[in-house]
Amino acid sequence: MQARERLVTSAQELMAERGYGGMSPRAVQDRAGAGQGSMYHHFTGKADLARAALDRTAADLRAQAATVLDGPGSALDRLVGYLERERDVMRGCPVGRHAQDPGVIDTGPLRAQLDDTFTWLRTRLTTLVTEAFGDRVDAAALAATIMATVQGGYVLARAAGDPRPFADATDGLAGLLITLGGPSCT
Amino acid sequence: MQARERLVTSAQELMAERGYGGMSPRAVQDRAGAGQGSMYHHFTGKADLARAALDRTAADLRAQAATVLDGPGSALDRLVGYLERERDVMRGCPVGRHAQDPGVIDTGPLRAQLDDTFTWLRTRLTTLVTEAFGDRVDAAALAATIMATVQGGYVLARAAGDPRPFADATDGLAGLLITLGGPSCT
DNA sequence: GTCTATACAACGATAGAC
DNA sequence: GTCTATCGTTGTATAGAC
């Protein structure tokens, strides 16, 4: 494998493990088996390396989400499927976890990648919510609720040192959606 | 004011601004107008200082939450009131924002304070959910959903650089709760 | 209790040889 | 493209005087 490739992969891993602030260029180099010179040849610095890593991580995440969102089943099935899909909960969201890091939020291109990813997801979810519930709900708001419940589930699970709060949160919301999708009173 | 007091306050501020990983003892000292010796006289080190700061921050947060949760109105009113209460969204949750920081999660006493705070909140919310909806829902799960929506709302807002996603997420969940609390089909 | 001085490692980046 | 050497800064903590 090429050095540039190994550097990106190592940066992805270290950002997942330690966050952007905790990812040192030297640690990336060590893991990639590359020297200082190699890294600074391929990237202008830490932020540039992180951008390449985050771009790839975000693309992977969108691809995984799309598998469920564009998959088989009714719109409601797919929304519940998205909520309940398997995740490495204790690791945190590979994208969302960086939203608390000032080093990311204050670095334009890095925050933009977070924003782009969530905007992409919001669009997909809003469509499905509309398809599932019509105008019985505010689709944009409910799409945000779904995303927030997932992101917050990671927070609660990591705080608890236990993945159960994540499952509780998504189960709770899935229950509400299924109830809402049931026989209406009108 | 005593030096110890100023150190704790400064540490609270810096943890809110930069996170635990981004809070350097020296920066705390500078802000508090205290020297190295003073800080290391009152605290054993950075983790100990952070623990004191986080203890106080968490206590403040519980007090604010209790104002709404134990306040006037029906159980449903108070749940919606909790979701919609005013928050400094772009700053992030003073407690939950630390759940992504490995330095916090890997430091027993610090993570324990996050866990204790969310456990306290979960208990309060579960009671209110039961009061509001009886056994029409899984109260523990829905309490987790409420907490996760708030925590995730912070994540989405910071990623977007805009507080609106927070309001969308909480509004969406509040809408579901109000619908659920309305006339039932049975 | 508080101060200044110091230690020592890690950080992020650059220089220049090969 | 990759290496090693080096730079200046900051992080965290200790030492010892006052």
Question: For chain D, which bases have at least one atom within 7 A of a protein Cβ?
Answer: 1-6, 10-17
Across the interface, of B22, B99, B168, the residue whose CB is closest to A102 is B22
Q: Which residue is nearest to nucleotide C11 (CA to C1')?
A: A24
Give the chain B residue whose CA is nearest to the CA of A108: B161
Supply the pLDDT for residue B183. 77
Strand C closer than 7 A to residue B26 Cβ: no
Residues A125 and A82 sit within 8 Å (Cβ to Cβ): yes
By CB atoms closer than 10 A (0-12, 13-18, 19+), residue B1 is: exposed
Tens-level pLDDT at each residue, chain A (186 residues): 799 999 999 999 999 999 999 999 999 999 999 999 999 999 999 999 999 999 999 999 999 999 999 999 999 999 999 999 999 999 999 999 999 999 999 999 999 999 999 999 999 999 999 999 999 999 999 999 999 999 999 999 999 999 999 999 999 999 999 999 887 665
CA of A144 to C1' of C13 (A): 41
Q: What pTM, to 2 d.p., does this model score?
A: 0.97
Across the interface, of B97, B111, B180, the residue whose CB is closest to A179 is B180
Interchain CB distance below 8 Å, B155 and A160: no
Over its C-alpha atoms, chain A yields an Rg (Å, rounded) of 19
Amino acid at A64: Q
- The Cα of B2 is separated from the nearest Cα of chain A by a number of Å equal to 30
How far apart, in whole angstroms, are the C-alpha atoms of residue B165 and residue A147? 10
Interchain CB distance below 8 Å, A160 and B118: yes
Beta-carbon count within 10 A of B36 CB:
10
* Alpha carbon A121 to chain centroid, angstroms: 9
Measured on CA atoms in the order A4, A8, A13, A19, is the torsion positive or negative?
positive
- The Cα of A41 is separated from the nearest Cα of chain B by a number of Å equal to 28
Q: What is the DSSP letter of A18?
A: H
User: Which residues in A lie closer than 8 A to residue B103 (C-beta atoms)?
Assistant: 22
Q: pLDDT tens across B22-68, in order? A: 999 999 999 999 999 999 999 999 999 999 999 999 999 999 999 99
Across the interface, of A21, A170, A180, the residue whose CB is closest to B179 is A180
Interchain CB distance below 8 Å, B176 and A180: yes
